[in-house]
């Protein structure tokens, strides 16, 4: 939706996407990915319609839509996620091991306590 007269004027006098708007794209991503995304939107919203994408094949052929490993920077992000998962997974595995050890200790303690109780002479009730 168009919000206000300023936006209406921007559309009537379209000069392409503004740099300040492009700088809002993918703020938390790797700079090389941001650069590719900015260039993509500049082309999509170019002031000259002849400079814009002319077909969906052109859009899908743009580097932004290449396989993840072909886009510089995504390899690093993929590795960070994988390493984080591996660390978390190892952490969960070690916690599980500790829980099993504690359970075994409790079971052993309960068994010893039960044995002690059974070995005791229980005084008869009057």
- What does the domain layout of the chain look like in residue ranges? 5-72
**Phi, psi at residue 99, to the nearest 5°?**
-60, -45
Residue 113 has pLDDT above 80, yes or no: no
Q: What is the pLDDT of residue 68?
A: 45
Residue 107 has pLDDT above 90, yes or no: no
**DSSP label of 3:** -
Residue 72 has pLDDT above 80, yes or no: no
**Measured distance CA(45)–CA(18) in Å, rounded:** 10
Predicted TM-score (pTM) of the model is 0.48
Q: Is 64 exposed, middle or buried (0-12, 13-18, 19+ CB in 10 A)?
A: middle
């Amino acid at each position: 939706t168009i919000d206000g007269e300023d936006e209406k004027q921007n559309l009537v006098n379209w000069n392409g996407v503004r740099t300040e708007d492009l700088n809002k794209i993918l703020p938390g991503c790797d700079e090389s990915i941001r650069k590719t995304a900015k260039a993509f939107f500049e082309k999509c919203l170019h002031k000259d319609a002849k400079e814009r994408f002319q077909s969906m094949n052109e859009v899908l052929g743009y580097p932004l839509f290449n396989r993840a490993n072909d886009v510089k920077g995504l390899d690093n992000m993929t590795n960070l996620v994988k390493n984080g998962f591996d660390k978390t997974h190892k952490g969960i595995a070690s916690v599980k091991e500790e829980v099993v050890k504690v359970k075994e200790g409790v079971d052993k303690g309960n068994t010893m306590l039960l044995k002690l109780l059974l070995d005791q002479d229980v005084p008869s009730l009057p």
